[in-house]
Chains A and B, each alone.
Chain A
Amino acid sequence: MSFFNRLRGKRKRRVVVIGLDGTPYTFVQRALELGRMPNFARMLGEGTFKRMNSVHPCVSSVAWSCYMTGKNPAKHGIYGFIDRKPGTYDTTIPTSRTMRSETLWEILSRAGKRVIVMNVPVTYPPRQVNGILISGFLSPKVEKAVYPPTEVGTLKRLGYIIDADPWAARESKDKALAEVNAALDSRVRALLHYMDNEEWDFLQCHVMETDRLYHFLWEQMDTDDPVYAPRFWEVIARIDQMLGEVYDRLDEHTTLIVMSDHGFCTLKYEVYVNYWLAQKGWLTLPENPPQRLKLADVGPHSLAYSLDPGRVFINLRGREPAGRVAPGAEYEVLRDEIAAAALEDMRDPETGAPMIAHVFRREELYHGPLLDQAADLILVSVDGYDLKGAMGKETLTFKGDELVGMHTYDDAMLWVQGQAIAAEGFCVTDVMPTVLRLMDVPIPDDVDGRVLI
């Protein structure tokens, strides 16, 4: 930097964001107390570390979409990992094509900043940026996941892996760990490669491997399993080492942010909301159902159905092709009935404790031009009860030994280097305008998030 620029303080601020998918604030506190994250411990006091809320529903596709747009789902249009095609009973997988908003890195690109974005969910297919974008979860293959495509060669050379294979991970805990470790190694390799060899003003690396580790091994960590708890902590040590490697590379003009999108806890039961709706008589399924039931198999007499997680849709006349419920009073009465019943009837089969903590009507959570695409009711479970949208299950609850962790809403985390954060009760949507402010780039008017620094 030239002498004059230094005098004028003109050197522009750069930002690095490391996303640790699903990593809870309370878990990191515990890891710090146990001395399991020595690198993060040495960085910690240099910034503000706070608990953060996710969004509803708290799944990565929605939470990271809110993060990258700084907006609520009724403005970006991503409400889950699957969604209805408007006016049909067909489902579709939301992608960057269906995302109806500009993203943080596109705004930065427009402002002339060079960005490198790696592995963030719902960025497939890759949209153009001023720099490099490597799409994350639900990209089919590296060859199609990269902008500009000329980067494919580099990634192949680095042995880049988009995501751990979840079917292999289901086979055994050992395979889950092998998948997670291989993907994590490739991620760190690529991250350090781009940090060291490319020009950038903004760099984001998303670590999906934490979410996979927690889904498949959280309970083993939580119960201090003699075989798998130590191996769980080995992965955390690798994550911590990565944070140290990134931190040690930064200069005084760069701000590091470490964040997650939701928390995690041990899964007590998977809860099948469509089974419950059917039991209550609100959902009818065919008598001789095909092996894999789909939304399209919902019977013509159905009044409601659910998509993952806890999103309940009313079979509304004029909106659904075979809608049964009249808009207006009939719709409102049914919403009230289902909401009350969910809170009252959905109970732990063993203890009788309620499994639903809260039911939101969509207008309580979302506001914007795409509100019509939202579920009519959003059920929020008590931690431990994982609401599922599977059709055709023959029981309300199930506990297997493959998926043993589930997401929580109020336990995401945020650490911002060199900044004080006075706010409490903020959420992932607030990080994006905060990054723009740090980088001195104007915040678009329609952003919902607030600046935290």
Chain B
Amino acid sequence: MAEQKGFTLWFTGLSGSGKTTLAKAVEQALRKRGLKVERLDGDIVRRSLTRDLGFSKEDRDKNIERVTFVAKLLTRNGVATLCSFISPYREVRARSRAEIGNFVEVYCECPLETCIERDVKGLYKKAINGEIENFTGISDPYEPPENPEIVVHTGSETVEESTAIILRRLAELGYIEPELTGAVVYSAEEETEVEERLRALGYI
């Protein structure tokens, strides 16, 4: 196999839209293929690399700036880098894209109501009650990507479906080899029938 080409998968979307869940599933799938993978997750990064930062617009920008720097180094060194950050502002994501280069934006589209219903971390409840300020979707805007490489609809798709979409798109973009296995395209009987059709039309 050719040398691994580094890239950054940038998962963006509301809190609770499934960014981390999907990044973990994709991480597993890529590792199974023998790829070097690193995952940078909003919640984890904020406990280490950027623990000094808060949630003001300025601090959020700094948070993404530092993560972008790390992602750039990893990508440059052939690592599949999975970043899951709400990253609500288009302009900031555009800067990360320009900085990193091999940048694949994954928009985790999920209705706000579904995210509120899920409220995995109990944050929406607090935000709605006014206990958290500047909370994306409640008291701070989320700017959806205008032209992301990948859109997954995490409100209606299963994790497996969304993961399959991401892997197929990565193959199309030339970052990974296409999946040759998977569900059978033609059963033996169907394959014979299809070949017969081609024969009847003179293509075999």
Contact = CB atoms under 8 A, between A and B. Distances in A.
Interface of A: 59, 80-82, 93, 95, 97-98, 100-102, 109-111, 124-125, 127-128, 138, 140-141, 163, 166-167, 169-170, 215, 270, 308-309, 369, 386, 388-390, 403, 441-442
B165 interface: yes
Contacts of A270: 202
Given A93-B195, A140-B193, A100 B200 contact: no
A442 B193 contact: no
27 contacts: A59-B203, A80-B203, A81-B204, A93-B186, A95-B185, A97-B182, A98-B178, A100-B171, A100-B174, A102-B169, A110-B148, A111-B147, A125-B183, A125-B185, A138-B194, A140-B186, A140-B187, A141-B190, A166-B197, A167-B200, A169-B200, A170-B200, A270-B202, A309-B203, A389-B204, A390-B202, A390-B204
Interface in B142-174: 146-151, 161, 165, 168-169, 171-172, 174
B1 interface: no
Interface residues of B, number: 32
Given A166-B197, A442-B147, 7 more contacts: A59-B203, A93-B191, A97-B185, A138-B197, A167-B196, A170-B200, A308-B203
B165 to A, nearest CB: 6
B145 to A, nearest CB: 9
A110 B203 contact: no
A48 to B, nearest CB: 29
B200 A93 contact: no
Q: SS class of chain A's interface: helix, strand, loop or mixed?
A: loop
B165 A82 contact: no
A336 B146 CA distance: 50
Contacts of B146: 111
Contacts of A141: 190
Given A101-B172, A127-B168, A140 B190 contact: yes
B21 to A, nearest CB: 19
Given A93-B186, A140-B186, A167-B196, A369 B169 contact: no
Contacts of A97: 178, 182, 185
A136 to B, nearest CB: 12
Nearest to B198: A81
A311 to B, nearest CB: 12
A403 B202 contact: yes
Contact of A100 (B150, B161, B172, B195): B172
Nearest to A370: B174
Contacts of B195: 93
